[in-house]
Amino acid sequence: MAKKVRVGIVGTGGIARSHIKSLQAVDGVEIVAACDVNETVLKAAAETYGIPKTFTSYRDLVALKEIDAVSVCTPNFFHKEPTVAALKSGKHVIVEKPMSMTVKESEAMVAAAKEANRVLVIGFQFRYSSQAQMIKRAIDEGILGNILYARCQALRRRGIPNWGVFGQKKLQGGGPMIDIGVHIIEVAHYLMGSPQPVAVTGACYTYLGDKPSQVKSQWPNWDYKTYTVEDLAVGLIRFDNGATLSIESSFAAHIEKGIFNFTLMGDKGGACFDPPMIFKDEAGTMFNLSPDFVGDEVAFDEKILDFIAAVRGEKKPTAPGEHGLIVQKILEGVYKSSETGKEVRIK
Ligand SMILES: NC(=O)c1ccc[n+]([C@@H]2O[C@H](COP(=O)([O-])OP(=O)(O)OC[C@H]3O[C@@H](n4cnc5c(N)ncnc54)[C@H](O)[C@@H]3O)[C@@H](O)[C@H]2O)c1
């Protein structure tokens, strides 16, 4: 029989519902408590998913003796505090992406996990996707050779969130770079072997989000009066192994259409994410290899399964806090470089 894992949820909004559903589908996992400052949202989640204990303060939840693990699903400004508190009270933690708003916060989270000897996992689900795992197998078999460069794009033509606090820098830490750029960076960086960044150059531009919408779009009427984040961010990251990664990320950009993709360029072969493909030379010919079937695993379920397996001591997590911290250094580097107009060196 699977070892019982009892979980508490902090923040029961949009993404928490995916966590709850994926957790409740795992053999031996039980969600025993939930917390939200919004009592209506909390009550609805507790009733829908049959969660027995509810709290409006995360402190009451993390103090529960019967809980083994906590899932932190609050907005970015409130990732660090409940994560550190849960780890200090001996709980394992999965925290949603981005890990936090700053490198300082992420460092405190990693240190707390180390001190408490507990698992800390970041909600980076794209690395668990069938496409990414297919590319990982190709990399492990040496098909790409040495990966030199990753081109990453998470671009929306007009997709400024018109809900939540995504346009508020003080609550989110930034705009598209920290919200959606983080997704494509985390998976490309993982496939590159998680190298350490040494320098970042970046630039951020705001030109549409701080004004009322002038055109029809799928997500109209965002709150332009509170909009303090970038519409478009670009960056170039240098790593300690000589590899580089470029990132383009936007909530709004004058482009043909949205794109969420990376291309890895190695000295023997290459790969891209969507559609998944391998590029290689064989028999004197350049081939584009399209897989017939990569698998039908659901990436989000896989990330939750990976977390639970790590909590049970069955494996090391695929997206540990240390990886979240490296990605945070990249994100913060882009913002700092944009503010200063200079390349930022990373320690
Ligand atoms: N992995 C993914 O694909 C993915 C997708 C969406 C969102 N996210 C991340 O999940 C996080 C939450 O996003 P969301 O879309 O669910 O937002 P949301 O606004 O729908 O939900 C957040 C919830 O947290 C609650 N909350 C705020 N402060 C709190 C506090 N101090 N204590 C307890 N609860 C508190 C809010 O009341 C709200 O119900 C963000 O960090 C976001 O980046 C990840």
Superfamily of domain 5-125+300-316: NAD(P)-binding Rossmann-like Domain (3.40.50.720)
35 lines ligand 1 (CB under 6 A): yes
* DSSP code of residue 181: I
Average pLDDT, the chain: 97
Pick from 291, 268, 319: which is nearest to 131 by CA?
291
Give 177 Cα–ligand 1 centroid separation in angstroms: 17
* DSSP code of residue 240: T
Tell which wins on pLDDT, 334 or 163.
334
70 lines ligand 1 (CB under 6 A): no
Tell me the C-alpha to C-alpha distance, in Å, between residue 78 and each of 39, 84, 140, 228: 17, 11, 37, 18
Q: Does this model's pTM top 0.85?
A: yes
Which CATH class for the 127-298+328-345 domain? alpha beta
Q: Which of 9, 15, 41, 163 to mutate to test the pocket of ligand 1 (most atoms within 8 A of CB)?
A: 15
Give 221 Cα–ligand 1 centroid separation in angstroms: 21
In the predicted model, what is the mean pLDDT of residues 111-134?
98
Q: Which of 43, 74, 101, 170 to mutate to test the pocket of ligand 1 (most atoms within 8 A of CB)?
A: 74
For residue 280, list its beta bridge partners. Answer: 269, 287
Structural domain boundaries of the chain? 5-125+300-316, 127-298+328-345
Q: Which value, in Å, is the radius of gyration of the alpha carbons in the chain?
A: 20
Does the pLDDT value for residue 347 go beyond 90?
no
Give 201 Cα–ligand 1 centroid separation in angstroms: 29
78 lines ligand 1 (CB under 6 A): yes
Does the pLDDT value for residue 344 go beyond 80?
yes
Say what percent of the chain tops pLDDT 90: 97
pLDDT confidence of residue 166: 94
User: In which band, very low, low, confident or very high, does the pLDDT at 144 lie, cut at 50, 70 and 90?
Assistant: very high
56 lines ligand 1 (CB under 6 A): no
Does the pLDDT value for residue 1 go beyond 80?
no
The predicted-structure confidence for 183-213, as pLDDT tens digits, reads as follows 999 999 999 999 999 999 999 999 999 999 9
pLDDT confidence of residue 214: 86
CB 95 within 8 Å of CB 79: yes
